[in-house]
Amino acid sequence: MSTLTTFQTLFDDRVRATGAPFTSQQKERAIQQALKEYSQVRPVMAAQDYPGDSSTFDFALPTGWQEGISSIAQVEYPAGERLPAFLESEAWQFYVAPSGKKIRLILLTPETGKSLRIVFTKLHTIDATQSTVSALDEEAVADLAASIGLTDLAAVYANTQSATITADSVNYGDKSRTYLEIADKLKARYRKHLGLDQQSDAPPAGGFVDQDRQASDGGDLLTHPRRLR
Decide if pLDDT at 101 tops 80: yes
- Containing 119, the helix (H) or strand (E) segment is strand 115-122
Would the pLDDT of 201 be above 60?
no
pLDDT at 207 over 50: no
- Pairwise CA distance, residues 71 & 209, whole Å: 11
pLDDT reported for residue 170: 60
Mean pLDDT score of the chain = 85
Question: How confident is the model over 158-168, as a mean pLDDT?
Answer: 54
**pLDDT-derived band at 211, boundaries 50, 70, 90:** very low
CA triple 217-222-227, angle to 5 deg: 105
What's the pLDDT band for 172 if we cut at 50, 70, 90? low
User: Residue 175's pLDDT band (boundaries 50, 70, 90)?
Assistant: confident
Kindly report, residue by residue over 40-64, the tens digit of the pLDDT: 999 999 999 999 999 999 999 999 9
Eight-class DSSP state of 53:
-
Residue 52: count of CB within 10 angstroms of its CB: 21
Residue 214 pLDDT exceeds 90: no
CA contacts within 13 A on the Cβ side of 37:
22
State yes or no: pLDDT of 205 exceeds 70: no
| pLDDT recorded at residue 71 | 95
